[in-house]
Amino acid sequence: MATSPLPVISAASASDSFTSFITHHMLNGQNYLAWSRSVLMFVSGKGKDDYLIGIIQAPEVDDPGYRVWKTNNNMVKTWLISSMTTDIGEGFLMYDTAAEIWDHARTTYSNIDNTSELFEIESSLHDLRQGDSSVTHYYTSLVRLWQKLDLYDQHKWTCPTDAHLYNKIIETKRVFKMLSGLNNELDDVRGRILGIKPLPSLEEAFSSVRHLESRRKVMMGETPLSSSTPVEALAMYSSDSNQPFAAKATSDNKPRKPRPYCDHCRKLGHTRETCWKIHGKPPYHSSDPESKANTATLSPPSPSNLFSKELLDLLHSIILQPINHRQQAQAM
């Protein structure tokens, strides 16, 4: 009776045999899902994932392919144990195959419930705000937590349409979360994004927010202009210089402080706290040139506010003296 040929098993390459540190996610008893994902990606990339799931069985000792299997099996065992903490790894040294280590690690350290992990991640997401961080750092922190959440919160869908709809709902909620945690100075872009129908994707919303933050930094003089500077920011160049307004220097070569900028009306010279579009014009201000001229004509400055009484009496006598002499001459 003819036997089916054994699968072709390649021997480990020199680069594979000297690889020991395969992931930053060292199995510590609390991070099985992250560890298993990263290990599986590495081992699959090396073409040795069949040893993890036990597809390739050990041939007989006298089989010509046994030595190749033994070499690859021990190499994968080394990868697995070296990706664990010392205390955990020591407990797997006596297993014969990589598949046994893989299966027992899943049975021992995977948390089917994941309730505590999910609660911790959700709590961190609820409290996360931009604060002093940049938009990019804030968004990266959110994505890192969402990726962990996806590892623990997995669902098996029988209907692809339901799975797609669920993913769209999750993405919408994540857009809301990202926007709600932004600082108040980004209210404008937050309102514009929420007004778009249909709502942009998470990546598109982040790109819009990051673009506005970069433009504001340029306008406020916080970062130098570069080739990637938005077109709108080029208007902030002065007419008599090729340098941005924030980089101008005074006669003593000391840089001037950047002019205040209002993020409500997007004009220089004032801030939101003194913006007329929010608080109205002050009572002493008049934008009508004619009314200003009339006011100046009808209400000239009082001389009494400029000269003392003694000086006014002297000026009055000097002015009236020629008139008195002329009246006396006419009377004679």
pLDDT above 50 for 227: no
**Residue at a domain's end among 93, 109, 125:** 109
d(CA 101, CA 118): 26
Whether residue 198 has a cis bond before it, omega within 30° of 0: yes
Same domain, residue pair 87 and 32: yes
Q: Which helix (H) or strand (E) holds 89?
A: helix 86-90
Reported confidence tier of residue 223, pLDDT bands at 50, 70, 90: very low
Cα separation, 301 vs 251, whole angstroms: 38
Instruction: Give yes or no for residue 224 having a pLDDT over 80.
Output: no
Query: What is the largest distance, in Å, between two alpha-carbon atoms of the chain?
Result: 164
pLDDT at 80 over 50: yes
In the prediction, which pLDDT does 22 show? 81
In-domain check, residue 153: yes
Q: The domain containing residue 69 runs over which residues?
A: 14-109
In a domain, 313, yes or no: no
Last residue of a domain, one of 204, 219, 234: 219
Q: Which of 24-33, 78-87, 131-140, 152-161 has the lowest mean pLDDT?
A: 152-161
User: Residue 251 above 80 pLDDT?
Assistant: no
Assigned domain for 54 exists: yes
Structure tokens at 160: 């692809």
How many structural domains comprise the chain? 3
Same domain, 179 and 266: no
Residue 236 lies in a domain: no
